[in-house]
A and B are shown apart, each in its own frame.
Chain A
Amino acid sequence: MSATTNQAAPRAAATVLDVERVRRDFPILRETVHGKPLVYLDNAASAQKPQAVIDAERAVYERYYSNIHRGVHSLSMRATDAYEAARAAVRRFVGAAHTREIVFTRGTTESINLVASSYGRGHVGKGDEVLITGLEHHSNIVPWQMLCEEKGARLRVAPLDDRGDVLLEDMERLIGPRTKIAAFAHVSNALGTVNPVKRMVEMAHARGVPVLIDGAQAAPHLEVDVRELDCDFYAFSSHKLYGPSGVGVLYGKASHLQAMPPYQGGGDMILSVTFEKTTYNELPYKFEAGTPNIAGVIGLGAAIDWVEGIGRGAIAAYEGGLLEYGTRRLLEVPGVRLIGTAREKAGVLSFVLEGVHPHDIGTVLDYEGIAVRTGHHCAQPVMERYRVPATARASLAVYNTREEIDALVGALHKVREVFL
């Protein structure tokens, strides 16, 4: 299993990551849980925040908080500048051509709902089809299901093989004349699979089908270049990328966003309002109704600066090594079976331990100070596919260490002592 990404390999080799220095940036990593040092391995659910992000949010409220895009007063101009600087940082981060292609939302979920609602309603009709894959998070299933239900359309699902890779030949066969949009995860939250999204986009585009990529699990681990991928939409969340919660991003090609109707109506998304007619604002403001999470967006900008300071190539290379180490060490524990052994993986070690339910694993690990997620990871169809009710999932971030993996393995031996 290759744990690194093809995009990341060349630059990564040149940079060595000093994990102790990285860890010093995260105050929460000095906390203890049940008297043990915190071992935080629930990063796919949400990542911890570096001091730079905490400071950036704090600085907004302490020094220049104000509403944006409105006032002529100094604070409003300062807040607006910082907010728009974060948009510029996101544009660079995903490789978009223009900042007007970057829409701030509440999170990946809202980004997907925006596209399903605004683009979907305009393009998907009775008898049409929407294509997803078998490894999607509920957030990339349910909005499309709701759309299909409303329109009398059909949701098609590209199947997975036993390792957790999407069966591309089957997927290609599912793209037909009625397919109006396709939506795929870049990285699976439950299995860790890195989808070959560039190829998947090419396959869809060859039939004229636009593609949304759910990048929630990819943005923290891989380099993302939306122009290289040529995807039509790309969605991700701030909180998994070491930024504040409650902020997300939707990248959309300007040509699509231009043609789409607004998602919500309100302030900031308008140019002029009379009771007869409202003229909508330009991109991206047309899609940003209401006062946004101003400090959160500025915090996301700080998170991106922090990530770029470490270097995404270095992060991918370091996490890849950690994932390989974790895979090897976990498999040394008798009875452990990994769920998700795709050719290319990022960040996720999902596993079951024979004879012990994941929930019981989670409770015992907690008493060892180790935070993992147990359950279906908002991906119940994935659980059904691999015939497990739930898994335990250790998910990695740049601040995790081999010693923490060792602590996890040691605790799993304790779990076996209790239950077997």
Chain B
Amino acid sequence: MISELRELYQETILDHSRKPRNFGELPTANRRAEGYNPLCGDRATVALDLEGDLIKDIRFKGAGCSIFTSSASMMTESVKGKTRPEAGALFERFHDLITSDPSQAKHRAVPELGKLAVFAGVSEFPVRVKCAALAWHTLKAALLGDPTPVSTEVSESSSGDGGGHAL
């Protein structure tokens, strides 16, 4: 496989896309949000069991490409047990990673991102940024208790404007 493609479709990403973690209904959920990527028809639902500021449990549902599915799956693993501000800070780092200049992406793979650093390859594929960011935007809406479904066309401008993900 060509190197940029291998960078995008890393083994961890393919693994999460084939076997997504924390996938399905969350019976104890007290927060829920929906997200939509009108460009490719991807749909996401993120359900949270939120206790104060703490994300006690999280599940997602949805249909989409491997980048969406793996990003959602790894996001649930990364934010479970974190607080709302911690999750917001992580989204900001993640967003920086996938929207940075490809030559800079490696430097944006800061230690706090952990396994999420495998998404650095997305920066080479600007049209796929929305796929990687959809679950995160939906999580943010769930944390804010926003009842309007999220659209990546609104929340993910094509210029890759990365500001304002803090919660």
Interface residues of A (CB under 8 A from B): 34, 356-360, 363-364, 367, 374-376, 380, 383, 389-390, 414, 418-419
Q: Which residues of chain B from 41 to 74 have any CB-CB distance to chain A below 8 Å in the complex?
A: 41-43, 63-68
- B23 in the interface (beta carbon within 8 A): no
With A389-B64, A418-B9, A419-B14 known as contacts, the answer to whether A359 contacts B2 (CB < 8 A) is: no
> 7 closest Cβ contacts across the A-B interface?
A357-B65, A359-B65, A389-B41, A390-B41, A376-B41, A359-B40, A360-B65
Distance between A369 CB and nearest chain B CB, rounded to angstroms: 11
Q: A357 to B66, Cβ gap below 8 A?
A: yes
How far is B41's CA from A419's CA once the two chains are assembled, in angstroms? 20
How far is B9's CA from A360's CA once the two chains are assembled, in angstroms? 9
How far is B1's CA from A376's CA once the two chains are assembled, in angstroms? 28
Q: How many residues on B have C-beta within 8 angstroms of the other chain's C-beta atoms?
A: 22
Q: Which of A34, A356, A380, A414 contacts B41 (CB 8 A)?
A: A380
Q: A357, A367, A390 — which one has the most chain B CB atoms within 10 A of its CB?
A: A357
Q: A34 to B39, Cβ gap below 8 A?
A: no
| 30 A-B contact pairs sorted by A residue (CB < 8 Å) | A357-B66, A358-B40, A358-B65, A359-B42, A359-B65, A359-B128, A359-B131, A360-B9, A360-B65, A360-B67, A363-B5, A363-B8, A363-B125, A363-B128, A364-B5, A367-B2, A367-B4, A374-B40, A375-B39, A375-B40, A375-B41, A383-B41, A389-B40, A389-B42, A389-B64, A390-B40, A414-B1, A418-B5, A419-B17, A419-B66
| Minimum CB distance partner of B2 in chain A | A367
Q: Which of A359, A367, A389 contacts B43 (CB 8 A)?
A: A389
How far is B68's CA from A340's CA once the two chains are assembled, in angstroms? 27
Q: Using A357-B65, A367-B5 as known contacts, list a sample of 11 further A-B pairs with CB atoms less than 8 Å apart, ordered by residue number in A.
A: A357-B68, A359-B67, A359-B131, A360-B9, A363-B8, A363-B125, A363-B128, A380-B41, A389-B42, A419-B14, A419-B17
Q: Which residues of chain B from 92 to 125 have any CB-CB distance to chain A below 8 Å in the complex?
A: 125
With a cutoff of 8 Å between Cβ atoms, the chain B residues found around residue A380 in the complex are: 41
How far is B14's CA from A374's CA once the two chains are assembled, in angstroms? 20
Interface residues of B (CB under 8 A from A): 1-2, 4-5, 8-9, 14, 17, 39-43, 63-68, 125, 128, 131
How far is B39's CA from A380's CA once the two chains are assembled, in angstroms? 11
How far is B68's CA from A358's CA once the two chains are assembled, in angstroms? 12
With a cutoff of 8 Å between Cβ atoms, the chain B residues found around residue A356 in the complex are: 66
| Minimum CB distance partner of B42 in chain A | A389
How far is B147's CA from A138's CA once the two chains are assembled, in angstroms? 27
Distance between B70 CB and nearest chain A CB, rounded to angstroms: 11
| Minimum CB distance partner of B66 in chain A | A360
Distance between B158 CB and nearest chain A CB, rounded to angstroms: 16
With a cutoff of 8 Å between Cβ atoms, the chain A residues found around residue B17 in the complex are: 419
With A360-B65, A363-B125, A363-B128 known as contacts, the answer to whether A418 contacts B1 (CB < 8 A) is: yes
With a cutoff of 8 Å between Cβ atoms, the chain A residues found around residue B43 in the complex are: 389
How far is B67's CA from A396's CA once the two chains are assembled, in angstroms? 29
Distance between A416 CB and nearest chain B CB, rounded to angstroms: 13
How far is B6's CA from A414's CA once the two chains are assembled, in angstroms? 13
Distance between B72 CB and nearest chain A CB, rounded to angstroms: 13
With a cutoff of 8 Å between Cβ atoms, the chain B residues found around residue A364 in the complex are: 5
Q: A34, A364, A383, A389 — which one has the most chain B CB atoms within 10 A of its CB?
A: A389
| Minimum CB distance partner of B9 in chain A | A418
With a cutoff of 8 Å between Cβ atoms, the chain A residues found around residue B41 in the complex are: 375-376, 380, 383, 389-390
